[in-house]
Amino acid sequence: MAYSAEVVKRARERLAQAREDRESENRQHLAQAYAKVPRIREIDMQLRRTMASAAQAAFLQGSDGREMMDSIRAENLALQREREDLALRYFEEGYLDDSPVCLECGGSGYIGTTMCECLRELCRQEQKKEVSILSGSKDTFAQFRLDYYPDQFNPSLGASPRMVMEKNFQSCRRYALTFTPSAGNLLFVGGTGLGKTYLSACIARAVADRGYSVVYETAAHLFSKLEQAKFSPSEENRREAAKFNACDLLILDDLGTEMPGQFVTAALYSLLNDRLLAGKPMVISTNLNVDEMNRRYSPQIASRLHGSFQRLTFVGEDIRVLKNRGLSVKVSTGST
């Protein structure tokens, strides 16, 4: 799972801080133990001497070396047992264990060249925090309400708006909870205030919760960052732009609300093409229909959006307006 360099950096900083805190705590425990039970300090000094003696014995040949090593080993074991007895007698269990922050990797974050689960978990946490900040929401699928959508049959839809939106909701939830790097693409189409941003944010949070790297951006912010990377190519700007192709899932919200222009059209085409060729999933929401996309961008872009994405059409009334009026459509099944 490809976490951005910034997410990994923050996770490694947290692990380094946890390692430093654990080492500081271990030093404090040892100092307190020495003050309370001076015999423990004496034992530790003796253990260090036995280690030095063992190093000398290793150079001796024959029976003399073996006898010396056996004697040192017996003394070392006796000292360790005495130390353990004193620790159990005077302190709570584990007080003098001197254990690292992670038993698997020792707190380095890696086992060889493989990322340890301790660092991977911190990456997941940082990824979730980033998604929450970018989406500006902590909403979840459990809070999604169908009672804002009318349940009267609509002949043009062949169903009620509520039935259509319940199907969309289930598709989004299933997509997020079964997400893999080959999950495919979703295109949310519909007017403002119908839940496109809400369900995009829910997908972002649920996929990030499962340990995948997610980048959630509004179209205006994404194209601004790509423009900065092209015309002000600092290391930070290049890193910001690179994550749009590197992440497991890219969520682009409100496509069509950015300032139009040749750069945006070229950048959008390149982004779509690169991720589609790499088989990397995207979720894109827009208020534009096919004809509007043709006019605003290009037929090539419109073709990719409608040919390579599963389209979910959002219908109903503007939920923001309903909320401002303090209204909701009554439903016997309640909220979802």
Pick 81 or 322 by higher pLDDT.
Answer: 81
Q: What is the mean pLDDT of the chain?
A: 86
* Angular region, 144: left φ>0, alpha ψ -120 to 50, beta rest: beta
Give the residue-averaged pLDDT of 214-239: 89
DSSP state, residue 109:
S
Weakest mean pLDDT among 27-31, 68-72, 306-310: 68-72
CA distance 46 to 68: 16
Question: What's residue 331's pLDDT?
Answer: 41
Cα separation, 198 vs 136, whole angstroms = 10
Pairing of strands 110-111, 114-115: antiparallel
Find the mean pLDDT for residues 228-243: 86
- For residue 289, pLDDT over 60 is answered with yes
Confidence of residue 335 (pLDDT cuts 50, 70, 90): very low
Lowest average pLDDT, out of 43-52, 127-136, 203-212, 272-281, goes to: 127-136
pTM (predicted TM-score): 0.65
Residue 220's region, left for phi above 0, alpha for psi from -120 to 50, else beta, is alpha
DSSP labels, 35-92: HH-HHHHHHHHHHHHHHHHHHHHTT--HHHHHHHHHHHHHHHHHHHHHHHHHHHHHS-
- Does 178 have pLDDT greater than 90? yes
Residue 249 forms beta bridges with which residues?
A: 214
Q: What is the pLDDT of residue 333?
A: 37
Q: What is the spatial distance between Cα 24 and Cα 269, in angstroms, rounded to a whole number?
A: 52
